[in-house]
Structure 1
């Protein structure tokens, strides 16, 4: 239940419904008809997404995005929510949607077994009519038994939450520069060999099972990265 509450709070923050800080825990308990423990767990999720700044004795304050937020990619909240902050949503154009079996390269990329059956989704995504990224995403069918043509046109993660109750627990991200091969260069309309920022991501369930892995090539001009971390004091 706390996952759903966290999603509602995140949507409200992205939509600008809270100007400076979250309502009190008591107010949120009333709003969502939930216990204090559930509300606190939901707030923890929102905090880990980099949307809150905790001030002891004062509450949970909204983290303000930079003024040039259209060019800031907030890895803590994901591409789709970052795009909403920047005036989105992202509009998808599906290039490829099919089922394949993982070869050696995909198995290594997604930390899965060779031969595992996958849904493959390749999409161009646009922010305010300008090309934002090229996304090559894979979903093991052992975890995601069904994806639809309509579902991949929009937020696939939202579809997985609604249809299967799938919530990501941990994500591994690796950001690096790559040169575009002929296929990718043609899709994004750039010269072969041009460098672009690429994000390799793997998403895990709480059980440690992979439910998604992807490569995303960003072509939106002047992108900057933002990432939220929580400092933890380690004591002997």
Structure 2
């Protein structure tokens, strides 16, 4: 339940429904009809995703991004990274949806054995009717029981959570610049060899099992990545 409350709060922040400060815990309890403990756990999630700043004795304040003109992708959000874009949500056009076996390249990218059967989903993602990114995602079939044509049109992570109670625990992100191959270039309207910002991600369940890995190529103008970190003092 707290995940749903946290996602709702994040969406409200992205839509500027809370311009500065969040309502009190008591007000959120009344708004969502849940316990105070559920609200506190939800706020912990939103805070961990870099959306809030805690002020002792005062409450939670919305973090203002310095790049107001940029469409910021918050890399700290784990529900469905590419739907949690400032100005979103993103809309999808599915280019390819099938089942394949991992070759050496995919096995290495997904930290999986060679020959693992995976769902392959290739989508063009649009923000306010403009092409935002090309997303190539893979889901091991021995972990993800079933994906439908309908499920890959929207948030696949939300579908997995609602249908199978499958929630990611940790994510490894690798940001890089790469030259577009012929197929990528054609899909995003660029020339072969053009440079583009890429993001490779591997998503793990709590037991350490890979349930998704992906590569996203960003082509949107005025694009920015945002990371949230929490300092930890290491005492000698």
TM-score range normalised by the length of the shorter chain: over 0.9
Counterparts of 1:59 and 1:208 in 2: how far apart (Å)?
Answer: 34
Query: How many angstroms does 1:186 deviate by?
Result: 1.1
1:56 equivalent in alignment to 2:56: yes
Q: Which of 77, 81, 85 pairs up with 2:84?
A: 81
1:101 equivalent in alignment to 2:101: yes
Counterparts of 1:46 and 1:150 in 2: how far apart (Å)?
Answer: 28
Counterparts of 2:54 and 2:126 in 1: how far apart (Å)?
Answer: 34
Match of 1:135?
Answer: 135
Match of 2:167?
Answer: 167
Query: How many angstroms does 1:191 deviate by?
Result: 0.9
Match of 1:90?
Answer: 90
**Over aligned residue pairs, what C-alpha RMSD do you find?**
1.6
Match of 1:42?
Answer: 42
Equivalent residues in 2 for 1:1-236, closer than 5 Å: 1-66=1-66, 68-77=68-77, 78-82=81-85, 85-86=86-87, 88-236=88-236
Counterparts of 1:120 and 1:69 in 2: how far apart (Å)?
Answer: 34
Counterparts of 1:98 and 1:65 in 2: how far apart (Å)?
Answer: 38
Counterparts of 1:109 and 1:31 in 2: how far apart (Å)?
Answer: 43
Mean Cα displacement is larger for which, 18-27 or 92-101?
Answer: 18-27
Counterparts of 2:130 and 2:11 in 1: how far apart (Å)?
Answer: 23
Q: Describe the shift of the 1:180–1:71 C-alpha distance in structure 2 as closer, same or farther (beyond 3 A).
A: same
Q: Give secondary structure in 1 for the equivalent of 2:168.
A: coil
Query: How many angstroms does 1:80 deviate by?
Result: 1.0
1:148-191 Cα distance to aligned partner (Å, 9 max, x none)? 11111111111112111121111111101000011111111111
Q: Give secondary structure in 1 for the equivalent of 2:84.
A: helix
Runs of 4+ in 1 over 6 A off after TM superposition: none
- Unpaired runs of 5+ in structure 2? none
Query: How many angstroms does 1:50 deviate by?
Result: 0.9
**8 Å Cα contact 2:70/2:222 also seen in 1:** no
Query: How many angstroms does 1:39 deviate by?
Result: 2.2
Counterparts of 2:171 and 2:69 in 1: how far apart (Å)?
Answer: 23
Counterparts of 1:111 and 1:173 in 2: how far apart (Å)?
Answer: 13
Query: How many angstroms does 1:5 deviate by?
Result: 2.0
Counterparts of 2:125 and 2:11 in 1: how far apart (Å)?
Answer: 20
Counterparts of 1:181 and 1:202 in 2: how far apart (Å)?
Answer: 22
Counterparts of 1:27 and 1:58 in 2: how far apart (Å)?
Answer: 14
**8 Å Cα contact 2:71/2:224 also seen in 1:** yes
